[in-house]
Amino acid sequence: MDIATPAGILIGALLLIVSIILGGGMAGIGGFINIPSIMIVIGGTVAATLVRYPLQVVTGLVSLIMKTIFVKVSSPQSEMQNLIEYAKLARREGLLALESKVADIKDAFLSKSIQLLVDGTDADGLRTILEKEIENLRGRHSKGKGVLESMGVVAPAFGMMGTLIGLVLMLRELDDPSKIGVGMATALLTTLYGVIVANLIFLPMSGKLDVRSKEETLVKELIMEGVVSIQSGDNPSIVEEKLKGFLSPAERKEKKIEDLKDKIRNAK
């Protein structure tokens, strides 16, 4: 689970609440709650999103967000190590020996890749099929990111729209000066709600989805390169060198340390 996303939203909300309490006391919180304003911002944002995107894309956004938060992407190092082990097994016993590993693989993309390898798919066929899978993944994530960005743009606009509605209603009561201050405060709350949900939820979530998409794509590209290399009959050491190109300098250093530890353990 990615604890940073819910933690960031919670911290941001708590800081806003504490600021309100410090400025106006506990009684001040009630002045920042306005149901019609919430309905205008949230309802208007959802309505505009449904107008712009197909229903299937909007409903699928919830599932995509949940995966972004709760599903942990495997690290390139761990997938690299798995592929090196598969390369050693294929080198030693042949490609068909990998069939016994398919049932134990939890990652659907890796499982499909190894199954295609066992089924005798050539290198070009493997690359074509897996590249299409990765392209489709990018497309799904790009749509989700686009929806969130759109909601981040629309929410402040509906906040301003709610403020204009509030101002119109306030101006109709100019004959009673006592209501002007309350009316102005209520009108401005809608803009506040729009800014908060856009900059604390929609736009940051869009950025997080983009980051997670790049991480997942990198891992899948690594898997594709490793499986194609195994199919080509490359030596496990060659497979490892090819896959190292997907690791950052820090990750390569960590792997060297782990390899050294393994050598020490084996020596004992």
Per residue in 8-29, pLDDT (tens digit) is 989 999 999 898 888 777 767 8
Token pair for residue 225? Answer: 């390169």
CB 66: neighbour CB atoms within 10 A?
Answer: 10
Residues 116 and 132: beta-carbon distance below 8 Å? no
Domain boundaries, the chain: 1-33, 34-75+124-267
pLDDT score at 184 = 77
- Say if residue 123 is exposed, middle or buried (CB neighbours under 10 Å; 0-12, 13-18, 19+): middle
Per residue in 152-186, pLDDT (tens digit) is 999 999 999 988 888 887 887 777 777 676 677 77
Model confidence, pTM: 0.79
pLDDT score at 264 = 57
Helical (H) or strand (E) element with 85: helix 76-93
Tell me, letter by letter, the H, E, C secondary structure of 243-266: HHCCCCHHHHHHHHHHHHHHHHHH
Successive 10-residue mean pLDDT values, the chain, 268 residues? 83 90 77 86 93 87 76 82 90 87 86 90 91 91 89 94 85 73 78 93 90 90 92 88 82 61 56
